[in-house]
Amino acid sequence: MSLMANAVQVQNAQSIQTSDGVAHGVSVAVIGVGLMGNKIARRLASQGASVSAWNRSADKATALAEVGIRAAPTVAQAATADVLLLSLSDAATIRATILADDVKELLRGKTVLQMGTIGPKESASLAAEVVAAGGRYVEAPVLGSQPEAEKGTLLIMVGADADPRDTPGDPVWPLLKALGQEPNIHYIGPVGTAAAVKLSLNQLIASLTVGFSTSLGLVQRSGAPVDKFMSILRASALYAPTYDKKLQKMLDRDYGAANFPTKHLLKDVRLFESEAAAAGLDTRLLAALKGVVQDTVDRGLADTDYSAVFDAVAHPEGKGEHQQ
């Protein structure tokens, strides 16, 4: 890197860290800086928060130095921040990461802000352990992906003992405002309720995408013009914008880089099925959805956009052709 480029990078990092954004002065460690965590960390830094980051693959955290985000070598060192924001894949990973003995003892007086998609019972169990360790737990799963995290327009569901906007000086509230803006932040109720709403929304992702894939597949097989089908669909009460977002990927059978990969959709469908069964709901449709998404993953499409379920629905004879 040239001296001039290096100077510009340092200047940019300094300007981000001294920004007078809505999260100015909040000390936060982002635990897990993969697809979403990376964008969340960058957004918070741009809004004035003092951000550190930890990731199991350390290179993902150290790469954030270009925007003034400090990489923490261990989770325990990241736990010096006032807020530990979790952007991790599942409850088991969360438990192994922040409830390990060397970290758990550091949670006293800290706030754990859990933003991943996990089950209501899992979230309540984690909350109980964090509180027992002297910490505070807030669940705040989001609807939206990397572009929305980058722009600060995520839809955020909050589960906590009280609405964080009603607590003066609460460090969680400015972080949420930086990521979602006030009209997009919804206090649902106690811990577990926001997790349930988020999981329910993700179930709709699977249902809508598999349903649209099935209809589109029949239209193609019949020889009817896809554009006519879409025109009628768009003019009807049946339309959802996600159909147009995924249409070209399905037509091209090119599912590209993922904002929300198929493997994560499979995890969420499995989790929803388990929660639905425990709640006494009929899970026959969920079992079928799970089978379609599992078949998609088995084709080698785990890391592609979840629109890849179209492959399993419309081209069942092609199983195995995408495997690496």
Listed in sequence order, the DSSP H helices in 153-308 are: 172-180, 193-222, 226-234, 241-252, 262-278, 284-296
Q: Which two tokens stand for residue 90?
A: 């599942």
Let me know if 198 is a catalytic residue: yes
* Rounded distance between C-alpha atoms, residue 138 and residue 123, angstroms: 9
- What's the angle, vertex CA 296, arms to CA 290 and CA 300, rounded to 5? 140
Residue ranges with strand state E in the chain? 27-31, 50-54, 70-71, 83-86, 111-114, 136-139, 142-143, 155-159, 185-189
- Cβ atoms of 195 and 118 within 8 Å: the answer is yes
Q: What is the number of residues in the chain? A: 324
Q: How many helices (H) and strands (E) does the chain have?
A: 15, 9
* Rounded distance between C-alpha atoms, residue 258 and residue 254, angstroms: 11
- Cβ atoms of 87 and 30 within 8 Å: the answer is yes
Can you tell me which residue has the tokens 């929660």?
275
Instruction: Return the bridge partners of 53, or none.
Output: 30, 71
Can you tell me which residue has the tokens 């572009």?
147
Task: Please tell me which residue in 60, 177, 198, 290 is annotated as part of the active site.
Answer: 198
* Rounded distance between C-alpha atoms, residue 182 and residue 264, angstroms: 28
- Cβ atoms of 53 and 72 within 8 Å: the answer is yes
Region of 29 on the Ramachandran plot (φ > 0 left; ψ -120 to 50 alpha; else beta): beta
- Residues annotated as part of the active site: 198
